[in-house]
Structure 1
């Protein structure tokens, strides 16, 4: 039976924190929604905790799906395959939700008559206190009018928009031929969004400054334990996106703009390579950075920053680069 919203939540070994989001889901003010809890082969007691909760609550919005372990992309894909909603939303099992999370997303996208809508999110480092330490913030670019795919890609390339699945609601039809790539561990969400945009270049997208999602930042998360090889996946996704845009009839003129994403990823690779003293990775990324830099269009907001980076890389100022970026990247 068709419903309005399918909210997909991948779960893997979340026994210690899963109760928080289960309670947040129960408190959701929107009823025409299904909560698709996709257990990705947990080896702890996650399934038992969820089953007990569903039995006790008798809330028909909850649906538990158990599958073999395949990673977060595989779990999200299972959710997409099982979804009955007209709209798709995502959440991570270790994050927190405002009680109007689903209602606000749904009411806003339908009011704007858009196919996709992106929201801000609140960053916290304590899942209980929920004290804000930062934001995924769309305030500078949010507007009451919808924007085009072309504009969204431009904002994304300028790092004014991001690929967080938890920050977006989209029409289910957009996912008909799109799935997350299980082979891609990092940037799989960005890869999927670009597939949607290139496959549906005429859709309307809304950007919303309001936040109803608490993004819990944990020191042991994947993003805080990444090595140079992990950051090369960013480069791989960017390269694929650039290739796909170059072959797109109506958007191929955006290639020099989208290359800004590649430049950003290469800066990440160089910085982490220096921190880990990986000279081979550093040299390879530096060579590619210097080659692609002059082929890239930067916005006025980004140009000075990139020129300074270019000078430091061109002069091979390893000590300065290590000192500057060593404060930014938390590596173990």
Structure 2
């Protein structure tokens, strides 16, 4: 690939210990990728034989534009950011190594990339367990039907009410990231809940496809199924980021509110469900500060909870231990 080759699409695939899945992932991309598509695989310090499988699979497609980066383990967000930093495509797609594209991705997406006015292409997903015949959930991420020019913040309300912020359920114009200084927060979980909303707020044109174009693998041990102590501070980080966005553009408060409310509910759920969860007073104060700009959006009972947040959350913890 020459340095001046114009790429339409860069597909970024972070990979960490995905030996069981990475071949299936790559086989949903490599056979279909044309000369204006590049595939960037970021092997994020895998300790299994993921890299060997990547090499073996890629050797079957020597003519494809494939870049493999091997780095020390730095996490999913850092791997995505690394891919973004070297991507030459006008558009970006983010594919996790244990998921894979539906064949319809390749009949729907490429032609749309010729319309450079589109900032985001959104589509749906099917979540499956073990086999694609075993569908766990149909995930509706696309709220628009066809091309929608965004001239009012109110047009984004359906997307924010739905709160399906999966990064892999969209194709993004790369300039959305670059021109606005948006990247995935490194070392954080729930990175999608702060990053994807920021991208939507900067979008001027969104194209919705009401079809499932990706297979999303269900794991019993995924971060949404297994509690980690850092979950709480990472969710506070999301709330703080959304709060900062609302301060930059006060007209976005009502739009951002459903995601903020979801974060608050998620934190309360974790505290109730996990007796080992520790939520420090410092983190509680950060959360309270982040929620305050949205307080008028909450119903009265939630407003009271926020106003007395440390007392309220500590009461949850005390009752949880009985």
After TM superposition, the score normalised by the length of structure 1 is 0.78
Corresponding residue for 1:167?
Answer: 169
Describe the shift of the 1:189–1:54 C-alpha distance in structure 2 as closer, same or farther (beyond 3 A): same
Corresponding residue for 2:55?
Answer: 51
How is 1:107-256 mapped onto 2 (pairs within 5 angstroms)? 107-108=111-112, 110=114, 113-126=117-130, 128-138=131-141, 141-148=143-150, 150-151=153-154, 153-158=156-161, 160-176=162-178, 177-186=181-190, 188-198=191-201, 200=202, 203-227=204-228, 229-248=230-249, 252-256=250-254
Q: Equivalent residue of 1:242, what SS? A: helix
The aligned length equals 303
Query: Structure 1 stretch 257-266 or stretch 9-18: which is displaced more?
Result: 257-266
2: CA distance between counterparts of 1:55 and 1:64? 12
Residues 52-101 of structure 1, C-alpha deviations (whole Å, 9 max, x = no match): 22223324233212122211111111111111111111100001211232
CA deviation after TM superposition for structure 1 residue 30, in Å? 4.7
CA deviation after TM superposition for structure 1 residue 122, in Å? 0.9
CA deviation after TM superposition for structure 1 residue 180, in Å? 1.4
Q: Equivalent residue of 2:67, what SS? A: strand
2: CA distance between counterparts of 1:114 and 1:292? 34
2: CA distance between counterparts of 1:232 and 1:134? 28
Corresponding residue for 2:264?
Answer: 266
Corresponding residue for 1:303?
Answer: none
1: CA distance between counterparts of 2:36 and 2:154? 32
Contact 1:146–1:204 (CA under 8 A) maintained in structure 2 = yes
Describe the shift of the 1:171–1:123 C-alpha distance in structure 2 as closer, same or farther (beyond 3 A): same
CA deviation after TM superposition for structure 1 residue 110, in Å? 4.2
Contact 1:119–1:167 (CA under 8 A) maintained in structure 2 = yes
Q: Equivalent residue of 1:70, what SS? A: coil
CA deviation after TM superposition for structure 1 residue 5, in Å? 0.6
2: CA distance between counterparts of 1:121 and 1:181? 24
Query: Structure 1 stretch 166-175 or stretch 3-12: which is displaced more?
Result: 166-175
2: CA distance between counterparts of 1:47 and 1:96? 18
How is 1:39-118 mapped onto 2 (pairs within 5 angstroms)? 39-108=43-112, 110=114, 113-118=117-122
Task: Tell me, yes or no, if structure 1 residue 8 matches structure 2 residue 9.
Answer: no
Corresponding residue for 1:302?
Answer: none
Contact 2:235–2:263 (CA under 8 A) maintained in structure 1 = yes
Q: Equivalent residue of 1:4, what SS? A: strand
Query: Structure 1 stretch 261-270 or stretch 26-35: which is displaced more?
Result: 26-35
Residues 296-318 of structure 1, C-alpha deviations (whole Å, 9 max, x = no match): 437xxxxxxx7898899999997
Describe the shift of the 1:310–1:102 C-alpha distance in structure 2 as closer, same or farther (beyond 3 A): farther
Corresponding residue for 1:23?
Answer: 27
Describe the shift of the 1:152–1:27 C-alpha distance in structure 2 as closer, same or farther (beyond 3 A): farther
Contact 1:259–1:297 (CA under 8 A) maintained in structure 2 = yes
Task: Tell me, yes or no, if structure 1 residue 295 matches structure 2 residue 305.
Answer: no
Describe the shift of the 1:263–1:228 C-alpha distance in structure 2 as closer, same or farther (beyond 3 A): farther
CA deviation after TM superposition for structure 1 residue 196, in Å? 3.3
Query: Structure 2: which 5+ runs fail to align?
Result: none
Residues 142-177 of structure 1, C-alpha deviations (whole Å, 9 max, x = no match): 32341527246523442x142211111111212213
Contact 1:15–1:44 (CA under 8 A) maintained in structure 2 = yes
Query: Structure 1: which 5+ runs fail to align?
Result: 299-305, 323-332
